[in-house]
Amino acid sequence: MASKAGISTLSRQRILSAWLFLTPMLLVLASVAAYPLIRTIYFGFTDASIDLIGQAQWVGFRNYLEYLDYGDGEGEYFGLLVDADWWRAVWNTLRFTIISVFFETVFGLVIALVLNREFRGRSLVRAAVLIPWAIPTIVSAKMWAWMMHDQFGILNDMLLRLHIIAEPIAWTASPDTAMLAVLIVDIWKTTPFMALLILAGLQMVPGDIYEAARLDGVGPVRLFLRVTWPLIMPAVLVAIVFRALDALRVFDIIYVLTPNNERTRTMSVFARDNLFDFDKFAYGSAASTLLFLIIALLTISFIWATRMNVEADER
């Protein structure tokens, strides 16, 4: 009994000091994350306009959904929830995320496996691989925009010389290749990030497991599938979550490479257009709110789904 009381005093103290340590962080988070978020959500329910924010009036759910009655029994729905442009942006974002994260994971895994081997100059290669990721996105997007330029671009020049294409491709302009162009740049840029995270996971795998497997005469493919993959799986999943979160709010690459193009407009670009270019700050705020909800929902469900898997594997 006495010992129990002692523990609870101790744990109470620990809880207290934990709160003490956490409070500054919570305050900072509240002011830089929670406050802007709540304000954005609030503006989504008003008729705010960017340069006259003080005059915002509460309008309820109108930015999301509104039924306009024509008075003769007919009517129409308006608002973000029935806005085809918005859903197109959502679909573009999801498509971009799924394809880019898939390829980044595959390429990242391959690069990580190579870098995990001992060879001369490994640290140099490891540093070199990181370069695309280290270049600011705006810079690399602009660089690629020039490389993909239909008349002056080096990409078309190389493909033409190799006789892979007969005519220059307008990479960023043509509706058929706009998304492809964006994907190429994003995959080029972010694969190193995946490689790095997966490499960290690979280096956690103890070497004696491989030694034991080799003594048992396990082939390389089986070794990867049965030993390496299950062990690095948690690290890969974490990397995928990070990457997917990033990809879902993709903005800069698209804004530089293919601005104002319906084929590549993502949720963030849609929100920005409405917030700053159009006189629709409130509508843009509503879009930002939905963007936040969609990302939160996807992340939670992804973590939930994969944690189940991880647990199943451990059993």
Contact residues: other proteins, CB under 8 A: 49-53, 78, 149-152, 168-170, 172-175, 258-262, 273, 276-280
Q: How far apart are CA 266 and CA 94, in angstroms?
A: 9
Tell the smallest beta-carbon distance from residue 100 to other proteins (Å): 21
Burial 199-237 (b: 16+ CB within 10 A, else e): bebbeebeeeeeeebeeeebeeeebeeebbeebbebbbb
- The DSSP symbol for 51 reads G
Q: Which amino acid is at 16?
A: L
Q: How far apart are CA 138 and CA 259, in angstroms?
A: 13
- The DSSP symbol for 6 reads H
Tell the smallest beta-carbon distance from residue 54 to other proteins (Å): 10
Tell the smallest beta-carbon distance from residue 5 to other proteins (Å): 57
Tell the smallest beta-carbon distance from residue 201 to other proteins (Å): 40
Q: Which is nearer to other proteins, 159 or 238 (CB)?
A: 159
Q: Which is nearer to other proteins, 186 or 273 (CB)?
A: 273
Sign of CA dihedral 106, 124, 246, 186: negative
Tell the smallest beta-carbon distance from residue 272 to other proteins (Å): 8
Tell the smallest beta-carbon distance from residue 157 to other proteins (Å): 11
Asked if residue 222 lies in contact with residue 210, where contact means CB atoms within 8 angstroms, the answer is no
Q: Which is nearer to other proteins, 86 or 193 (CB)?
A: 86
Question: CA 52 → CA 56, 259, 280, 281, distances in Å?
Answer: 7, 26, 11, 10
Q: Which is nearer to other proteins, 46 or 105 (CB)?
A: 46
Write down the residue that tokens 């948690």 correspond to: 234
Q: Which is nearer to other proteins, 52 or 305 (CB)?
A: 52
Tell the smallest beta-carbon distance from residue 148 to other proteins (Å): 9
Q: Which is nearer to other proteins, 262 or 313 (CB)?
A: 262
State the DSSP H helix or E strand holding residue 132, giving kind and residue range, or none if neither. helix 131-134
Asked if residue 130 lies in contact with residue 192, where contact means CB atoms within 8 angstroms, the answer is yes
Q: Which is nearer to other proteins, 17 or 55 (CB)?
A: 55
